[in-house]
Chains A and B, each alone.
Chain A
Amino acid sequence: MDRPHDQTHDRLIAELTASAAAVPRLPHPAWRACTWLGVSVAYVALVAWAQGPRDDLALVLRDPAFVSKIVLGVGAAFLAACAALAMVVPGFPAPRRVALALATLAWLAWMVVESSRAGVATPDAIAGWSCFATVLVCASIPMVTLAAQLRRGAALAPVHTVAYAALASTLLADVGARLCDGHRDAAHLLVHVAALGVFTVTAAMLAPRVLRWQAH
């Protein structure tokens, strides 16, 4: 004779089987990150254009050091987005996730070093807040877009996943802010790092509400 648990179990399998319609497979995290990057770069460029690009933009775009920072920023944002999207795929190889995390952290370390070398100018409170706001505005839509993509996956580690998503969004927003502002002193760079930290920590705290198992 079947135990009650066996009956429940068989009934569960029957119900799951009966409700199992065809489902579209989730594309590879890198492809999904490319989609996100396309939408987000367009949005950040739009915000930069609306706010007015920095006066010397044409000049600095000829500077290899500036261009390399922009490329590095976009690349790090892409890697962080890949890491976030990989985390919602059960069983995605851990070494790749670790590599992506290390790349992102290396970029952050470089940012801090750059801040410490940029001099000790007096912080301008108004310009600082303006910069902070620009980063947050630039990060908002990329974050919403990435959160929507993450919600299609499995919420295995919500806090880490959302933290990476916030990191990706703010890294890209930082690139947008660099196109609007000159970053002539350490204060501005620290404002960017602060915006990145605030946005990432806040998003991580809201993670259990943003990311949970979805019914399909």
Chain B
Amino acid sequence: MTEPDRSDDRRFGDLMRAAQDGDQRAYGRLLQDLSALLRRVVAARGSLVRPADVDDVVQEILLSVHAVRHTYDPARPFLPWLMAIARHRMLDASRRARRIAAREHSTDDPGVTFVEPATNPFQEPVGDAEALASALESLPPGQRQAITLLKLHDMSLQEAAAATGLSVGALKVATHRAIAALRKALVGD
């Protein structure tokens, strides 16, 4: 796909205007189109976003676009609006990655870490990944989003709150309920 031009900008702007008026079909199409564009934009900013984080950052940008879609003015070009959001989200991701890198330490002998079966002779098997994926799938959207951002994407509560627009308290409650639901689904008590 080539770089977006004026006609793309107009098309995106028209779709967003329709979405602001409640046209869900237009909104779905816009988000699909933006996903492809954002993947390329984020991937091209290798200095800010690690390749492994590209999909996560694209999803954060889409969440942000959704949260502030009412700020788009149809009389103005769409792409500067989108790119301003994308730029801020990429900077957030870069700061987060730096923070995590500063906290983490690599080890030369991963065999002694807790995740190796040899170091956990008395631990019960955790269960298979498919069961976990299925249990995650069965969670309500709010709980699934909370557990995904906090536990899988390793966001802080503040970062997840910023990405979703939920309060820290609401995220804590959603995470607590999600863990309880997962435990019930996987262990059965």
Contact = CB atoms under 8 A, between A and B. Distances in A.
A216 B82 CA distance: 17
Given A18-B24, A20-B27, A212 B162 contact: yes
B28 A91 contact: no
A21 B19 CA distance: 8
B141 A156 contact: no
A91 B84 CA distance: 5
Interface in A10-24: 12-24
Contacts of B154: none
B59 to A, nearest CB: 6
Interface string A154-192: 111100000000000000000000000000000000000
Given A22-B20, A154-B85, A215 B166 contact: yes
Interface string B71-107: 1111011011111110010000000000000000000
Given A22-B20, A214-B165, A9 B64 contact: no
A20 B19 contact: yes
B118 to A, nearest CB: 28
Given A90-B81, A91-B82, A154 B62 contact: no
B84 A156 contact: yes
A213 B68 contact: yes
Contacts of B85: 90, 154, 156
Interface in B40-85: 55, 58-59, 62-64, 66-74, 76-77, 79-85
B20 A212 contact: no
A88 interface: yes
B113 interface: no
A21 B165 contact: no
Interface residues of A, number: 35
A154 B71 contact: yes
Given A16-B31, A25-B70, A213 B58 contact: no
A154 B32 contact: no
Mostly, the B contact residues are helix
A188 B57 CA distance: 51
A69 interface: no
A68 interface: no
Contacts of A26: 70-71, 73
A154 B63 CA distance: 12
B81 A23 contact: no
Given A12-B62, A22-B20, A91-B76, A17 B27 contact: yes
B76 A8 contact: no
A5 B42 CA distance: 15
B169 to A, nearest CB: 13
Nearest to A4: B133
Interface of A: 4-5, 8-9, 12-26, 28, 88-91, 152-157, 212-216
Interface of B: 19-22, 24, 27-28, 31-32, 35, 55, 58-59, 62-64, 66-74, 76-77, 79-85, 88, 133, 141, 148, 161-166
20 contacts: A8-B59, A9-B58, A13-B31, A15-B141, A16-B31, A17-B27, A18-B24, A20-B27, A23-B70, A25-B71, A26-B70, A90-B82, A90-B84, A91-B80, A154-B71, A155-B162, A212-B161, A212-B162, A213-B163, A216-B69
